[in-house]
Each structure stands twice: as structure tokens, then as C-alpha cells.
Amino acid sequence: MEDFLAAGEGHRDLPVWRGAVWDAGLSGDDTALTAFLERWYLRHPHVPVVVTDDSPSTARALAVLRGKAADLAERSDSDGITNAVIHVLRQASETADAHAREGQRKMLVIGAHPDDVEIGVGGTIHRRAEAGWDVTVLTLSHGACGGDPDRRRQEAEEAARIMGAHLVMENLPDGAIVDNSGTIQTIERTVHRIQPDVVLVHSERDTHQDHRAVHRATLVAARRVPRVACYQSPSATVSYRPNRFVELRDRDVKSKLDAIDAHRSQAASRWYLEEELLRSTARYWGRFCQSRYAEPLEVIRDATHLGYFPEDHVV
């Protein structure tokens, strides 16, 4: 029997069984083959086996089928064996990718302007991205009221990269975003494409008209998303009422501050970008979850059953 091993992806230096070739010509009859396959799949349920034989008979083919071997190739046909191995490896890798995609949590964070989501939940984005979540930031305008749109786009891209998120940027009118069907459809495009488990957005309790419009449009666009919660913008009113707190580690706070720092064009003119204020705000919310730092969320809907996030249920 020959084994085909590949260096372990995601397993550091350990080799990982990717499959095996069982040579029936050398290793015995159909009974031995069946016994081998049974033992093999008990130990390695997801690792396929290619069987080779001098001249495969119908009985051999049936034994291969019964034993759920991945393929049968003629022993002298080295190209055929290679092709079978490649085919099996490709299938195994596609299955592994599909499993990884299925298990990966997806979070969509929506903001009206560049820097909104960084201020609200920059630490949460970093924390979840580092834990393996697929996080997308959807920014609905280029923030033209705050400076050159191209520069703001570049800053937003850098900030997203720092937090570990993908960026999608739309071009709704800064200062005049409304919660009409156009805005809803714009948000729906990304919601449908990503199919997020969680959506985070501005709160309704906010003095900025764009933030309120994005909040309302998102509630419609994300109506089938199981979890929706609202982050705190600097323009949130005193009625903002969080009921969930995401604990942040020092490195999450650092990533948040670095991401906000990427918005250099805004630093001089925006009082709410001052590091001391950002840090002390996170420090303040930390008292609600016995943590040094935290970010607050106002949960709108939490429709998933208990145990949905067994490893980390928050947000």
C-alpha cells in the first residue's frame, strides 16, 4: 500500500492523511480488500482510498463499490492512477472547503459613512475576524461631505484591512441618505450575496439623519438575518440603550484605534476621533461585562437557538 500525504495545511508541521492507494495485486483478494477498507474508514472516515489491480474484474469493481473506495485503476496504467489520485484529492479538498465555509460565521457591519463602523465596533470586528469569522464592512457613502471621496475610500480600505474585514462601498449621497426602496435594495444586494449570520448597524436613537435612515433600511434588508444589533455612534443619543457587551482584549482595542487612525483626513476636524475618548469609552462599557474594555450593542433580534455559537455565543 502506498500512501499519499500532503503537508498539513493549517496543522503546522504535521503531515495530514489525504488519501491512500491500496494495491490489490500485492495485497490480497476481495475479502482482504473489504476488510482493509472497513478498517481504514473506521480510523480515517474522510480519507479516500484508490485501489489498483493488474486487470480489474467485475468482482473487484463490486468489492471497491461495496467498500466505498474512491476509485479503481489498472496497476500498469500509471497515468490512470495519477489521474485517479488527483481527482480524489481535488474532491477531498472541495469537500473540506465546503465544510469550512459551512462552519464559518459571517458578520455584516453596515455604516453610512467611512469610519462609522470602526468607531462603533472596530474592536468587535477585529475580535471576530481573528476568531475566523468572515466579516464584511458595508459603507453606504464615500463620505464626500468630510473630504475627497477617493482618499476616504483608500482610508476605508486600509481600516478594513487592519481589522481583518472585507470592504464593500456604495455611493449613496452623503448627508442625504433616505430609507427608501433604493437604499433597501442597495443593502439587500450585499445581504443576499453574503448571507450573514449577524448584522450590525447604526441605532435608531441617533441624531444623524443618515444613520437613522441606514438603520431603518437595514431592518428591512436584513429581515431574514437571525441576529441584528445596533452599535453606538458618536451621534447616538442618551436614549441609546445597550443590552449586550462584547469584551475586548488589548489587541482588539489597538486594532480599533489603528483602524480609526487610518482615517487620517478626518483626524484634525473630528472631536470624536480622539484616542483618549475612544479608549475611555471602551473602558467605561467594560464595567458591564467585567472586562477592562468592551463595545456595547443594542440587540434588535436574536433568533438563533441556544448553542448556535457553542464556542462563543456573544454577537
Q: Which three cell numbers stand for residue 305?
A: 437557538
Question: What angle, rounded to 10 degrees, do the helices at 149-163 and 250-261 form?
Answer: 170
CB of 198 to Zn ion, least distance (A): 20
* Residue 217-236 contact track with Zn ion, rule CB under 5 A, x = bound: --------------------
Among positions 37, 109, 112, 230, the unique one binding Zn ion when judged by CB under 5 A = 112
Toward Zn ion, which CB reaches closer, 108 or 112? 112
**β 2-7/15-23 pair status:** antiparallel
Toward Zn ion, which CB reaches closer, 116 or 252? 116
Q: Is 205 in the site for Zn ion (CB under 5 A)?
A: no
Among positions 18, 71, 108, 116, the unique one binding Zn ion when judged by CB under 5 A = 116
CB of 213 to Zn ion, least distance (A): 11
Among positions 113, 128, 256, 263, the unique one binding Zn ion when judged by CB under 5 A = 113
Q: Which stretch binds Zn ion (CB under 5 A): 26-34, 108-116, 167-175, 303-311?
A: 108-116
State which residue has the least CB distance to Zn ion.
113
**Neighbour-count burial of 254, counting CB atoms closer than 10 A to its CB (0-12 exposed, 13-18 middle, 19+ buried):** middle
CB of 274 to Zn ion, least distance (A): 16
Residues 6+ apart with CB under 8 A from 110: 117, 137, 138, 139, 140, 187, 199, 200, 201, 202, 214, 218
Q: Which stretch binds Zn ion (CB under 5 A): 64-72, 112-120, 242-250, 303-311?
A: 112-120
The residue count for binding Zn ion (CB under 5 A) is 3
Angle at 235 between CA 233 and CA 236, to 5 degrees: 70
Q: Are 168 and 136 in contact (CB under 8 A)?
A: yes
Q: Which stretch binds Zn ion (CB under 5 A): 31-39, 101-109, 115-123, 283-291?
A: 115-123
For the chain, the first-to-last Cα distance in angstroms comes to: 49
CA distances from 17 to 35, 46, 84 (A): 19, 9, 16
Q: How far is it, in rounded angstroms, from Cα 254 to Cα 260?
A: 10
Toward Zn ion, which CB reaches closer, 52 or 232? 232
Q: Which residues bind to Zn ion, rule: CB under 5 A? A: 112-113, 116
